[in-house]
Amino acid sequence: MDMSKGDSILVLGAGGQIGTDLVHTLREMHGGSRVVAADLKPQSGSLSDGGPFLQLDVLDAQSVADCIRTHKVKEVYLLAALLSATAEQKMKSAWRLNMEGLFNLLDIAKELPGLRLFWPSSIAVFGPTTPRDLTPQFTVMEPSTVYGISKQAGERWCEYYHHKFGVDVRSLRYPGLISYKAQPGGGTTDYAVDIYHQALDKGEYTCFLREDTALPMMYMPDAIRATLELMAAPPERVKIRSSYNLAGISFTPAQIAAQIAQHVPGFSIRYAPDYRQEIADSWPNSIDDSRASEDWGWSCRYNLESMTTDMLKHLKAERQLA
């Protein structure tokens, strides 16, 4: 998207797992001063030092609208949400944050033609009746989690605001995301990040999912690239305005453990499934993202092996510096 002098980009929920990486990449691309990071919680480090940072609640529509006008914001990334595991524990506040936060931004975008909005959906929109392997873009969607219901409703509203009011909202159904820069925030796929940390720190890991639970996952650099490619695509190429399927790597806890063991000799894993198993069991094993490839040229780069090598390289370097 063309950004004139003085225009900026706003990332809401910037302190989380995706925001930490996204703000960093956007500031490298556009310069620190043009990327406003905002979160409910105060932040330290590069998020607040590398450019403007605001403490902001996405449920406070007036403050969000004021921020967008004051900073001449042309692109908003709305990342504030409660994820699947937390949402099961905090049903009403998850629904409120995930839905009202989105409505606030859709209503602001409706009044500001030219504002482009990114809102992430999730593989959680699918449910137990969805075909589990290579889940198609258009298929049965009967999510059985609070989080999945909020994502499915959000997708319908995004499409509605696009068709009714011309809002340029774009979305991806992210799989479980894996990164070394930030810890995940209360999801069912979080084990696939924690396992790397525990492998290096303790040489063993207790997994809250069964060993054969295959789930769609993706390494964060691919997820950030997908997000930026979708946001940069000409509007006519963004044909799906609910949310695009996005596939990465599908693996089980046993498979990721075997891959880690090749780098961390003696690494062992045990399994103690908890309430998150039921959530994982309702999600697909793998995803068909051919529409993202056809419409705006998406293709994933990392596999389980290259992701593991890169994750462990960075996490080891961090530990040497500490």
- The reply to whether 17 sits near ligand NAD by the rule CB under 6 A is yes
Residue 81, binding choice from ligand AKB, ligand NAD, none, Cβ under 5 to 8 Å by partner class: ligand NAD
CB nearer to ligand AKB: give 51 or 176.
Answer: 176
Q: Does 188 bind ligand NAD (CB under 6 A)?
A: no
Assess contact for 97 and 80: CB atoms under 8 A: yes
User: Is position 147 annotated as part of the catalytic site?
Assistant: yes
Instruction: Point out the catalytic residue in the list 147, 191, 196, 219.
Output: 147
Pairing of strands 176-178, 215-219: parallel
Six-digit token pair at 59? Answer: 């449920």
Q: Which of 8, 9, 16, 161 binds ligand NAD (CB under 6 A)?
A: 16
Among ligand AKB, ligand NAD, none, partner that 188 touches (CB below 5 to 8 angstroms by kind)? ligand AKB
Nearer to ligand AKB by Cβ, of 124 and 214: the residue is 124
By CB under 6 A, residue 122 contacts ligand NAD: yes
Beta-carbon count within 10 A of 287 CB = 25
Residue 155 sits in the site that holds ligand NAD (CB under 6 A): no
Site membership for ligand NAD, residue 51 (CB under 6 A): no
Place of tokens 């500490």: 322
- For residues 217 and 189, the answer to whether their CB atoms sit within 8 Å is yes
Q: How far apart are CA 33 and CA 38, in angstroms?
A: 13
Among 54, 81, 125, 158, binds ligand NAD (CB under 6 A): 81
Asked if 21 contacts 222 with a C-beta cutoff of 8 angstroms, the reply is: no
Binding positions for ligand AKB, rule: CB under 6 A: 83-84, 122-124, 147, 176, 187-189
The CA distances from residue 232 to 113, 168, 176, in Å, are 17, 12, 23
Establish if 79 lies at the interface with ligand NAD (CB under 6 A): yes
Paired strand residues for 75: 9, 116
In the set 26, 37, 68, 83, which binds ligand NAD (CB under 6 A)?
83
Q: How far is the CB of 2 from ligand NAD (least distance, A)?
A: 26
Q: Cα–Cα distance between 80 and 40 in angstroms, integer?
A: 9
- Exposure of 246 by Cβ count < 10 A (0-12 exposed, 13-18 middle, 19+ buried)? buried
Active site residues: 147
Q: Which residues bind ligand NAD (CB under 6 A)?
A: 12-13, 15-19, 39-41, 56-59, 79-81, 83, 97, 120, 122, 174, 176-177, 184-187, 189
